Amino acid sequence: MTAKGPERITEARGILAALRSAFDAGARALAQACLVNGRLDARKLDAHQVASFDLAWTGADLLAAETSLDALDAGATALDIDLALLFAADAAAASLPRLEALYLELGLDLSSLHAFAQDPRWDALRRAAAGSQALERAGRGVATSDGDVGPRRLDEPHALAQDAFRRFSADVVAPLAEAIHRQDLTVPESLLKPLREMGVFGLSIPEAYGGSGPNEGEDTLLMVLVTEALSEGSLAAAGSLITRPEILSRALLAGGTAEQKAHWLPRLAAGDPLCAIAITEPDYGSDVASLIFKGTRVPGGWKLDGAKTWCTFAGKAGLLMVVTRTNPDRSAGYKGLSLLLVEKPPSDEHEFVVRQEEGGILTGRAIPTIGYRGMHSFELSFQDFFVPDANVVGGEEGLGRGFYLTMAGMVGGRMQTAARACGVMRAALRAAIRYTADRKVFGAPLADFQLTQSKLARMGARLAACRQLAYSIAGLIDCGEGRMEASLVKLLACRSAEMVTREALQLHGGMGYAEESAVSRYFLDARVLSIFEGAEETLALKVVARALIERALDAQAPAA
Which residue among 176, 277, 474, 518 contacts ligand FAD (CB under 6 A)? 277
Is residue 377 part of the contact set for ligand FAD (CB under 6 A)? yes
Is residue 285 part of the contact set for ligand FAD (CB under 6 A)? yes
Q: Cβ contacts of residue 210 below 8 Å, gap of 6+?
A: 202, 265, 266, 269, 270
Whether 441 and 557 have beta carbons less than 8 Å apart is answered as no
Whether 227 and 423 have beta carbons less than 8 Å apart is answered as yes
Is residue 538 part of the contact set for ligand FAD (CB under 6 A)? yes
For residue 213, list its beta bridge partners.
206
For residue 40, list its beta bridge partners.
35
Q: Which residue lies nearer to ligand FAD by CB, 301 or 413?
A: 413
Residue 349 annotated among the catalytic residues of the structure: no
Distance CA 287, CA 285 (A): 5
To ligand FAD, the closest distance from the beta carbon of 540 in angstroms equals 8
Relative to beta strand 275-278, strand 319-325 is parallel
- For ligand FAD, which stretch binds (CB under 6 A), given 57-65, 252-260, 509-517, 535-543? 535-543
- Amino acid in the structure at residue 191: L
What is the total count of residues that contact ligand FAD (CB under 6 A)? Answer: 21
As to burial, measured by CB atoms within 10 angstroms (0-12 exposed, 13-18 middle, 19+ buried), residue 538 is: middle
Is residue 369 part of the contact set for ligand FAD (CB under 6 A)? yes
- For ligand FAD, which stretch binds (CB under 6 A), given 30-38, 54-62, 276-284, 461-469? 276-284
Residue, CB closest to ligand FAD = 285
To ligand FAD, the closest distance from the beta carbon of 473 in angstroms equals 21
Of the listed 533, 536, 537, 550, which one is catalytic? 533
Q: Which residue lies nearer to ligand FAD by CB, 8 or 48?
A: 48
To ligand FAD, the closest distance from the beta carbon of 192 in angstroms equals 17
Is residue 292 part of the contact set for ligand FAD (CB under 6 A)? no
In a 13 Å sphere around the CA of 145, the CA atoms on its Cβ side amount to 31
Residue 325's CB is within 10 A of a number of other CB atoms, namely 22
Q: Distances in Å between the alpha carbon of 166 and those of 200, 248, 414, 427? A: 13, 26, 21, 11
Is residue 280 part of the contact set for ligand FAD (CB under 6 A)? yes
Q: Which of 144, 164, 145 is nearest to 154 (CA)?
A: 164
The angle subtended at Cα 198 by Cα 195 and Cα 203, nearest 5°, is 95
Rg (CA), the chain: 24
To ligand FAD, the closest distance from the beta carbon of 243 in angstroms equals 8
Which residue among 56, 278, 339, 486 contacts ligand FAD (CB under 6 A)? 278
Q: Which residue lies nearer to ligand FAD by CB, 191 or 541?
A: 541
Distance CA 446, CA 439 (A): 6
Q: Which residue lies nearer to ligand FAD by CB, 254 or 535?
A: 535
Is residue 535 part of the contact set for ligand FAD (CB under 6 A)? yes
Binding mask 37-56 for ligand FAD (x = CB under 6 A): ------------x-------
Q: Which residue lies nearer to ligand FAD by CB, 77 or 381?
A: 381
Is residue 531 part of the contact set for ligand FAD (CB under 6 A)? yes
Q: Which residue lies nearer to ligand FAD by CB, 142 or 223?
A: 223
- Amino acid in the structure at residue 268: L
- Chain residues 91-150 in contact with ligand FAD, contact rule CB under 6 A: none
The angle subtended at Cα 314 by Cα 308 and Cα 319, nearest 5°, is 100
Q: Which residue lies nearer to ligand FAD by CB, 369 or 506?
A: 369
Which residue among 165, 264, 293, 372 contacts ligand FAD (CB under 6 A)? 372
Going by the DSSP 8-state scheme, the letter that residue 392 receives in this structure is: B
Q: Which of 318, 376, 313 is nearest to 345 (CA)?
A: 318
Residue spans of alpha helices (H) in 144-242: 156-168, 174-182, 189-197, 220-233
Binding mask 301-330 for ligand FAD (x = CB under 6 A): ---------xxx------------------
Binding site for ligand FAD (CB under 6 A): 49, 277-280, 285-286, 310-312, 369, 372, 377, 528, 531-532, 535-538, 541
Query: Catalytic site residues?
Result: 533
